[in-house]
Amino acid sequence: MNKNISVIGVPMDLGQSRRGVDMGPSAVRYAGMKERLENLNYTIKDLGDVQINHGLEEDPNEPLHNLRRIAAATEELAHIVDEEVESGAFPLILGGDHSISIGSIAGIAKHYENLGVIWYDAHGDLNSAETSPSGNIHGMSLAVNLGIGHPSLTGILGDEPKVKPENVVIIGARCLDEGERELIKERGIKVFTMHDIDREGMPQIMEQAIAYLKDRTDGVHLSLDLDGLDPSEAPGVGTPVFGGLTYRESHVAMELLAQSKCITSAEFVEVNPILDDKNKTAEVAVGLMGSLFGEWLL
């Protein structure tokens, strides 16, 4: 894996309705991310945080909450990520809510013909204005990356879809809205639900996911939402769903991704210190980063 990592924080909580996730990047840094990765012989360049323009005026008639501010922040992120990939660095983005992936993937996708995405999440994030029960953009971010959604979001760094549906694998899903289920079937998106993981086991699921993406993609982005884990393991998230992945299952998943050498960029999102217990969720995130970047016991 690329030994030069550029860390980009995105302290944004505009994509959802519970405050606090804007402190996620600070919490992850405080949990020892830089030291953990430097101990694995990576060179870490921390670029600090994207500035969020909270003063940008919103359209009161717009059904998507905070659309203009999210579009501005994700476009700025996209340009930063684009520059870091161009320089040869591995972008590691810290959220912030999951709407930040609109910017991170837009910046990354410019450099790949067939970017693959592993969406490690309890949710599909495949809603649009027509299907969303809340109007919260963090539940639309994967759809936007497929080219579905408001043009101010889908048009960041170009109007073309950033990812093809056949290049996406969702892992850990256990909460899907009706519109999302229809889109998954319509577009043929690969989904491994908690039922699949319970039945087959995480090693088998990850081997299938890696094999599925290996020959059809020229790079793979990991988008890891901490609510993919069970709330007992990661309590500091805004939209917890019980019955989720365990700490050990998630470490095994990251270890297998490390062995595969397929991951070319990553983001860890939805760490909310206000809802957390003694920074436990940020520490889980850092532990999973360690496994993703090749940390082994022996």
Q: Report the pLDDT value the prediction gives residue 42, as an integer from 0 to 100.
A: 98
Q: Give the Cα separation of 260 and 144 in Å (integer).
A: 28
Q: Report the pLDDT value the prediction gives residue 189, as an integer from 0 to 100.
A: 98
Which stretches in the chain have pLDDT values below 70? Answer: none
Q: Report the pLDDT value the prediction gives residue 298, as an integer from 0 to 100.
A: 79
Q: Report the pLDDT value the prediction gives residue 1, as an integer from 0 to 100.
A: 77
Catalytic residues: 98, 121, 123, 125, 138, 225, 227, 270
Q: 122-181: per-residue pLDDT in tens?
A: 999 999 999 999 999 999 999 999 999 999 999 999 999 999 999 999 999 999 999 999
Q: 24-43: per-residue pLDDT in tens?
A: 999 999 999 999 999 999 99
Domain ranges within the chain, ordered by starting residue: 4-292
Per CATH, domain 4-292 is 3.40.800.10: yes
Q: Across the chain, what does the average pLDDT equal?
A: 97
Q: Report the pLDDT value the prediction gives residue 70, as an integer from 0 to 100.
A: 98
